[in-house]
Structure 1
Amino acid sequence: MKRISLVLMIILGFFSFAQNRFFYEYKFIPDSTNKADVKKEMMLLDIDKNGSNYYSQDKFIADSTMKADMEKQLKAASGNFTINRTERPGQVGYKITKAYPDFKTFLFLKISTDSYKIEEDQKPEWKILPEKQKVGEYNAQKATTTFGGREWTAWFSTDLPFQDGPYKFYGLPGLIVKIEDRTGSHSMTLVGNKTFHITNNEEPQLPQGIQILGMGGKDIETNKKQFKKVWKAYVNDPAKNMREMMMKNTDTNRVVFKTRSADGREISDPNQVFREMEKRAKEGFKKNNNPIEPDLYN
């Protein structure tokens, strides 16, 4: 992707109520015991006059596909809904929002059927250093901070007039074009950008009493301390919310749960679905022990 011609075009796009989309290559090591297994995900940072959103491109595409499928089922008005439980598309399930001008920051993520909105109570405190280097096409300067249980080194560029960056990072005199933690477990590097007009991305309205994997309900607003309790309960019983959801809809038979086993077999029996979900979740906990923000899960 080419750099937008002249910084003026970016500024004009900003004030014309368009969005500026920045593409970051996110490299991370999910399992601290297997440092050779480096994952990659393309992350998007959308910036407009009101704030920014940071999220996975793959998950965005998958969610859009799921919403389109659900809308078709709603329009069919058959009274029955089929939910196909497959491996989660994309490797990064969270989203970060920042509201300008005070950069009020929230982390959005889902645990089972519940969606959480977690308010950030800290801001990055930066030490700007004189060291400079090129990051891709951009002239960048070094800065460091300690945040979320990790020590970070960032490179920001005043070529891009945004005091923002990937994940929860912001507050430098230019856009953060690269940031990496001291262990090399997590790094985000700007690889491209473009400007586009804002489009509507509302979720389909579900019938009353139906909740599907967090769709159709409000985000549960919480703080970090409360979220840690929720996370601990989920680790102890990963399928609890799905079992409760099934019980609420048993009388109407309006929801059918399906998943696939590791060898590709379709499973539709609810008890087997939940056992498979629990097994898969616990295997995931073991392999994903190196989160970007360790303080949030400890």
Structure 2
Amino acid sequence: MKKLITLTILLVGMIANAQNQRFMYEYRYVTDSTAGDQPETEIMLLDVVSKGSKFYSKDTFETDSLIAATMEKQFKAGTKELNLSGIQYKGKIRYSVEKTYPDYSVIFFNNLVADEYMVKDGRKQQWTILSDKTKIGEFTVQKAVCDFIGRKWTAWFTTDLPIQDGPYKFHGLPGLIVKLEDTTHTHSFELKGNKKLPAGYEWKSTKEKARFNPIITVNEEKYRKAFKEYRADPMKSERQMMAQGIVVKEIDASGKMTTASDSEKRDKETKRRNDIQKENNILELDLLK
């Protein structure tokens, strides 16, 4: 009985130490399978606290925070024309993923041009845990495989960090996912470090942030429909806004807010359509079916 109590205390302590942590993953990805380019990389953060986790791009978060602080400062100073010159825009990954403990319900946030979506995704990974073990960095890890979002995945997880979480929407293994890669080797996440969250850190959901337009809450099936409509007509939401009399402004190369001319709008639409056509190897490959 004494051994059982001691083991329980030890386990609780391990779980407590795993929480209030920021895990840093390197995400390597190729979105255009025909280009033959080297993979792009982005550092993604997984913040874990007692009530859940949040997965997002480090560079995008830092850029958005800097823009918000600059805008607030200029508004308070009574500036009539917003100027964001001098801000270096970093980060290509715009989505974020939140999971709520203990049921690990998944909420996905993403922008499709002017529309921001909050997607309740009830899909689960059906893991097969294998006997293979190895070392990745300081962790002893074990192999698991699953099919999810149109890809076959291999994960390596560690029970040294007994939280059933991981990058993106992945979770449900008996420990933290240290490395995750699909069989085409075009999308991979690998843990590169972790640290305690800053003192006073407050986990806030993306749905609570200030925004001009209300967020659109949908399930996974409705988001799939909206995603296909976006790829077919990427300027639709902007045209709808302009039809309602909303002036759509953009940040030009100097960092100032401007209204695009008709020719600039046409060039923008052409570029956006071309970019979308090149995105034939997106992370959630089943969205293209």
- Measure how far apart 1:79 and its partner are: 5.4
Separation (CA, whole Å) in 1 of partners of 2:235 and 2:84: 16
Q: Paired residue for 1:277, among 249, 265, 268?
A: 268
User: What does residue 68 of structure 1 align with?
Assistant: 69
User: What does residue 219 of structure 1 align with?
Assistant: 215
Kindly indicate whether the alpha-carbon contact (under 8 Å) linking 1:145 and 1:152 is maintained by their aligned counterparts in 2. Answer: yes
Report which stretch shifted further, 236-245 or 62-71.
236-245
User: What does residue 181 of structure 2 align with?
Assistant: 180
Separation (CA, whole Å) in 1 of partners of 2:288 and 2:89: 21
Distance change >3 Å, CA 129–CA 204, structure 1 → 2: closer
Kindly indicate whether the alpha-carbon contact (under 8 Å) linking 2:32 and 2:279 is maintained by their aligned counterparts in 1. Answer: yes
| SS of the residue 2:123 aligns to | coil
The aligned runs of 1:219-258 (5 Å cut-off) are: 219-246=215-242, 248=244, 256-258=249-251
Distance change >3 Å, CA 88–CA 226, structure 1 → 2: farther
Runs of 4+ off more than 3 Å: 7-15, 76-84, 86-89, 199-205, 243-250, 255-261, 266-270
Matched, 1:109 2:102: no
User: What does residue 6 of structure 2 align with?
Assistant: none
Kindly indicate whether the alpha-carbon contact (under 8 Å) linking 2:249 and 2:258 is maintained by their aligned counterparts in 1. Answer: no
Separation (CA, whole Å) in 2 of partners of 1:80 and 1:233: 34
- Measure how far apart 1:66 and its partner are: 1.6
Kindly indicate whether the alpha-carbon contact (under 8 Å) linking 2:33 and 2:280 is maintained by their aligned counterparts in 1. Answer: yes
Give the letter aligned to residue 238 of structure 1: P
Give the letter aligned to residue 217 of structure 2: E
Kindly indicate whether the alpha-carbon contact (under 8 Å) linking 1:82 and 1:257 is maintained by their aligned counterparts in 2. Answer: no
Separation (CA, whole Å) in 2 of partners of 1:257 and 1:243: 14
Alpha carbon RMSD of aligned pairs, Å? 3.1
User: What does residue 136 of structure 1 align with?
Assistant: 137
Structure 2: gaps of 5 or more residues: 1-10
Structure 1: gaps of 5 or more residues: 1-6, 206-214
Separation (CA, whole Å) in 2 of partners of 1:36 and 1:82: 35
The aligned runs of 1:116-131 (5 Å cut-off) are: 116-131=117-132
Matched, 1:50 2:41: no
Give the letter aligned to residue 216 of structure 1: F
Give the letter aligned to residue 59 of structure 2: D
User: What does residue 38 of structure 1 align with?
Assistant: 39
Report which stretch shifted further, 20-29 or 270-279.
270-279
> Normalising by the residue count of structure 2, what TM-score does the alignment of the two structures yield?
0.83
Kindly indicate whether the alpha-carbon contact (under 8 Å) linking 2:49 and 2:203 is maintained by their aligned counterparts in 1. Answer: no
How many aligned positions are there? 274
Separation (CA, whole Å) in 2 of partners of 1:159 and 1:58: 28
Give the letter aligned to residue 188 of structure 1: F
| SS of the residue 2:74 aligns to | helix
Separation (CA, whole Å) in 2 of partners of 1:272 and 1:76: 34
Separation (CA, whole Å) in 2 of partners of 1:110 and 1:79: 27
Give the letter aligned to residue 239 of structure 2: R
- Measure how far apart 1:284 and its partner are: 1.4
Separation (CA, whole Å) in 2 of partners of 1:229 and 1:77: 42
Deviations 1:187-232 (A, max 9, x none): 1000000012314768875xxxxxxxxx333321112222222222
Give the letter aligned to residue 186 of structure 2: S
Deviations 1:111-155 (A, max 9, x none): 111110111121011111110001111100000111111110000
Give the letter aligned to residue 291 of structure 1: I
Separation (CA, whole Å) in 2 of partners of 1:88 and 1:246: 26
- Measure how far apart 1:80 and its partner are: 5.2
Give the letter aligned to residue 257 of structure 1: E
Kindly indicate whether the alpha-carbon contact (under 8 Å) linking 1:143 and 1:153 is maintained by their aligned counterparts in 2. Answer: yes
Report which stretch shifted further, 228-237 or 102-111.
228-237
- Measure how far apart 1:174 and its partner are: 0.7
